Amino acid sequence: MKKIWSLTELKLNFNWGMIAFALHRITGVALSLYLFLHIWTLSAVQEGEAAFNHSIDKWDNAVGHLFEYLLLLAVAWHLFNGIRVTFVDFLRFTRQQKRLLAWAIVLTAIVAIVSVVIFIPELTRPA
């Protein structure tokens, strides 16, 4: 029986495409888990306004802002890499695959740099 995935195979096939594939899978799983956390947090609205506000206020701190920032990065990477995969698979852009991957990385980096001051307000507050 052949192994589905192993570290040995990762070492043998180590390239940018493999890294993009692994990050796409990791961000997909992370976003799925986030969806359950999001629904659970927002379900406090059924218990009234005070419970909902308490539920939301739990995330209004440095850790919560960091998680929001990481969520944005996961969504951005998953989006841009998903567009790249769609172009390669359905529009036959296989020769441009490396260029498309570079664009996905650049666009994710731009989102990361521009949004850091938005999602981590502690960086812009005066000391």
Residue 53 falls within a domain, yes or no? yes
Structural domains of the chain, count: 1
- Give the structural domain span for 15: 7-123
Q: What is the spatial distance between Cα 44 and Cα 48, in angstroms, rounded to a whole number?
A: 7
Residue 1 falls within a domain, yes or no? no
Tens-digit pLDDT profile for residues 34-84: 999 889 888 888 888 898 888 888 888 888 888 888 999 999 999 999 988
Residue 2 falls within a domain, yes or no? no
For the entire predicted model, the pTM comes to 0.75
Residue 79 falls within a domain, yes or no? yes
Residue 111 falls within a domain, yes or no? yes
Among 29-33, 109-113, 116-120, 123-127, which stretch is predicted with the lowest mean pLDDT?
Answer: 123-127
